[in-house]
A and B are shown apart, each in its own frame.
Chain A
């Protein structure tokens, strides 16, 4: 056992050098790679994949922004530059299946890369975790989460954009929590305010910030945990909870963190 605290995650390049290729590529995403809070989500996903015995790898330094914020902001040039470069890398490794830790990466690779020559089987980590739980490759019990009040905030790019509403909920239900839905959920879910490149700019002039509106609604369910499935939602909801000075009593956690924590990974 190595003495440093880091875990060993294989990269595509290392595997390729050994003539191997993994079952699935874990697309970490920029937030998952660089944002200190989102890094914890990435780690949780990696632990889950490892625990379930999935052969996976990451691109590491060869990964680059999918182009999502550029495309939603209207910069189709930059998006297509990023997409074509990424597709070249992915196709070079013969990637077939991708799991992403971010609904924006999930949406863009699944829906917008095929038209540019990159067709893969793409799933969001909540879907993969559900599959692993259903197949018995991963077992969790509620443990510390049993009976906790949890509400789930639908990410727009997972829910409305791609119709995935059940996977994250099924995963949460495995933890025997007391699930409580917000007034606006599933197809009616309210955005956290970060999509469409808003994450990278100040909001336009208005009477309120969107994440505050959403956090108020989440707090109405009197949750102990606000569950999210997107690193941008994580930032917005965490900021919102801080705004109401509730960070001691209400935790914002990604689906993957819930499962990793329940499984003591």
Chain B
């Protein structure tokens, strides 16, 4: 009875704190500008099913893709077991699903054990890739410090949780075999039975203590992990789904046309069109200087990023030693958005801390290195689009501040004056016909 109450309190606290963190993230995402991503729902569901649920872009890199799918499938399916643990915790029962499921229960528990071991193994492989083999994309400068620790914390937490799960099952099956009261005979234990010999010296009381400790630490661990995730790159486990649903469905080469610019250009080309009277409306900023100038989808992208670095590893600028890293663009966007969110919590909605995403986090040199080749967009396993952020920041520099490299200013002037990016007269446009 007391344990049920304690359990319910811990569970409620875990869920409450988690929902608070999530609602803050949702609020932050909504700080972005509006963009319509609700057309073609059928295609959107299909994209989500393929890319997020089906992991279609993960497998382009077979080793990482394979172990990621192992961990992902394990994580999702083992959650059925967590459901039973939660029900048991609330009701004070033990393995409550067993009587309802019969021999299928044995199959389930057996499968969970194989999956748990596979997850554990996958996490070890990932730790080795990151810390011993030191694969290039996991050692880039933008990962120094917290991001590297974040990745290791996640992997080690998962290893601990899986170990506790197997330890719990190991002691449980000994207690079952010994006919100890409360421990109903249920389940199959193909993996944890291998640990059983290690428990041979323990008496019933010690076994119960071990089983209960593993059970409690496991579920508390899961709740702690749940509350860690919103502060971590690991939040992609939730956002991968909406983020792929709201993917850009247009061709990748199609950049947005700014309607605010269209209005002004039309007025310039045709003076008979007068400025619309929009009293009280502040003029829209062209392009983006800070996170609030980006769209909500850009901001959702930032929270969906798990810093895998596939984008950066295929970026022609990054490969050739330039300062640009698309992953850093996403990490900076999230970092800046977190700061803006905290400022709102502390100082209210319209606080200006004097910093901004552009210049404060992302430098001009990074932005001018981009070739807009879309390799980063193509590579992202959850359809994040770093390129649209890069372009919006360029737009601000060029249109609001006239800050572009001198050579580009020359190119702009030539297009304006002679309709070509090079210094040639429009009257020479047919010169090529004279070649032979």
Query: Cβ of B372 < 8 Å from any Cβ of A?
Result: yes
- By the criterion CB–CB under 8 Å, are A84 and B266 in contact? yes
Name 15 extra pairs, CB < 8 A, besides A76-B286, A80-B257: A61-B427, A65-B420, A69-B411, A74-B287, A76-B258, A81-B268, A81-B269, A156-B374, A160-B377, A161-B252, A191-B316, A191-B373, A193-B320, A201-B368, A214-B316
CB distance from B404 to the nearest CB of A (A): 6
Contact with B along A228-256 (1 / 0, CB 8 A): 00000000000000000000000000000
Segment touching B, from A34-42, A125-133, A134-142, A166-174:
A34-42
Q: How far is the CA of A111 from the CA of B13 in the complex (A)?
A: 50
- By the criterion CB–CB under 8 Å, are B257 and A116 in contact? yes
Interface residues on B, range: 35 or more
Query: Cβ of B271 < 8 Å from any Cβ of A?
Result: no
Contacts of B222 in A (CB 8 A): none
Q: How far is the CA of A59 from the CA of B426 in the complex (A)?
A: 11
Query: Cβ of A51 < 8 Å from any Cβ of B?
Result: no
Contacts of B399 in A (CB 8 A): 74-77
Q: How far is the CA of A29 from the CA of B415 in the complex (A)?
A: 13
- By the criterion CB–CB under 8 Å, are A200 and B397 in contact? no
Residues 250-279 of B contacting A (Cβ, < 8 Å): 250-255, 257-258, 261-262, 264-266, 268-269
Contact with A along B169-201 (1 / 0, CB 8 A): 000000000000000000000000000000000
For A, the interface residue count at a CB cutoff of 8 angstroms equals 80
Residues 352-402 of B contacting A (Cβ, < 8 Å): 365, 368-375, 377-378, 391, 393-399
Q: How far is the CA of A60 from the CA of B433 in the complex (A)?
A: 10
Query: Cβ of B39 < 8 Å from any Cβ of A?
Result: no
- With contact pairs A191-B316, A201-B408 given, residues A30 and B432 touching in the complex (Cβ less than 8 Å): no
Q: Which residue of B lies closest to A184 (CB)?
A: B314
Q: How far is the CA of A60 from the CA of B370 in the complex (A)?
A: 32
- By the criterion CB–CB under 8 Å, are B371 and A71 in contact? no
Contacts of A6 in B (CB 8 A): 433-436
Residues 403-419 of B contacting A (Cβ, < 8 Å): 404-405, 407-408, 410-412, 415-416, 419
Q: How far is the CA of A217 from the CA of B377 in the complex (A)?
A: 22
- With contact pairs A204-B322, A205-B322 given, residues A8 and B411 touching in the complex (Cβ less than 8 Å): no
Query: Cβ of B153 < 8 Å from any Cβ of A?
Result: no
- With contact pairs A8-B433, A75-B399, A111-B251 given, residues A204 and B365 touching in the complex (Cβ less than 8 Å): yes
- How many A-B pairs fall under 8 Å by CB? 238
- By the criterion CB–CB under 8 Å, are A61 and B426 in contact? yes
Query: Cβ of A58 < 8 Å from any Cβ of B?
Result: yes
Q: List 28 A-B contacts (CB under 8 A).
A: A11-B430, A28-B429, A30-B419, A30-B420, A33-B431, A39-B432, A42-B432, A64-B426, A70-B411, A71-B255, A73-B394, A77-B265, A78-B416, A111-B254, A156-B372, A160-B252, A161-B251, A161-B254, A193-B371, A195-B373, A197-B408, A201-B408, A203-B322, A204-B322, A206-B320, A207-B321, A208-B320, A210-B371
Query: Cβ of A82 < 8 Å from any Cβ of B?
Result: yes
Residues 190-225 of A contacting B (Cβ, < 8 Å): 190-191, 193-210, 212-214
Q: Which residue of A lies closest to B402 (CB)?
A: A75
Q: How far is the CA of A180 from the CA of B252 in the complex (A)?
A: 27
Contacts of A111 in B (CB 8 A): 250-251, 253-254
Residues 316-354 of B contacting A (Cβ, < 8 Å): 316-317, 319-324
CB distance from B312 to the nearest CB of A (A): 14
Contacts of A107 in B (CB 8 A): 251, 253-254
Contacts of B317 in A (CB 8 A): 204, 206, 210
CB distance from B39 to the nearest CB of A (A): 14
Query: Cβ of B422 < 8 Å from any Cβ of A?
Result: yes
Q: Which residue of A lies closest to B261 (CB)?
A: A76
Contacts of A60 in B (CB 8 A): 429-430
Q: How far is the CA of A64 from the CA of B286 in the complex (A)?
A: 25
- By the criterion CB–CB under 8 Å, are B398 and A84 in contact? no
CB distance from B201 to the nearest CB of A (A): 56
Q: How far is the CA of A34 from the CA of B393 in the complex (A)?
A: 31
Q: How far is the CA of A64 from the CA of B370 in the complex (A)?
A: 25
Question: Residue A73 contacts which of B252, B320, B404, B422 (CB distance < 8 angstroms)?
Answer: B404
CB distance from B433 to the nearest CB of A (A): 5
- By the criterion CB–CB under 8 Å, are A194 and B371 in contact? yes
Q: How far is the CA of A184 from the CA of B421 in the complex (A)?
A: 30
Query: Cβ of A17 < 8 Å from any Cβ of B?
Result: no
Query: Cβ of B282 < 8 Å from any Cβ of A?
Result: no
Query: Cβ of A188 < 8 Å from any Cβ of B?
Result: yes
- By the criterion CB–CB under 8 Å, are A157 and B253 in contact? yes
Q: Which of B258, B262, B432 has the most CB of A within 10 A?
A: B432
Query: Cβ of A92 < 8 Å from any Cβ of B?
Result: no
- By the criterion CB–CB under 8 Å, are A191 and B371 in contact? yes
- By the criterion CB–CB under 8 Å, are B428 and A58 in contact? no
Contacts of A184 in B (CB 8 A): 314
Query: Cβ of B424 < 8 Å from any Cβ of A?
Result: yes
Contacts of A42 in B (CB 8 A): 432
Q: How far is the CA of A144 from the CA of B57 in the complex (A)?
A: 41
- By the criterion CB–CB under 8 Å, are A160 and B415 in contact? no
Question: Residue B422 contacts which of A30, A204, A213 (CB distance < 8 angstroms)?
Answer: A30
- With contact pairs A75-B399, A75-B412 given, residues A69 and B421 touching in the complex (Cβ less than 8 Å): yes
- By the criterion CB–CB under 8 Å, are A40 and B261 in contact? no
Contacts of B250 in A (CB 8 A): 111
Question: Residue A160 contacts which of B268, B378, B395 (CB distance < 8 angstroms)?
Answer: B378
Query: Cβ of A176 < 8 Å from any Cβ of B?
Result: no
Q: Which residue of B lies closest to A195 (CB)?
A: B371
Q: How far is the CA of A234 from the CA of B185 in the complex (A)?
A: 73
Contacts of B266 in A (CB 8 A): 84
Contacts of B430 in A (CB 8 A): 9, 11, 33, 58, 60-61
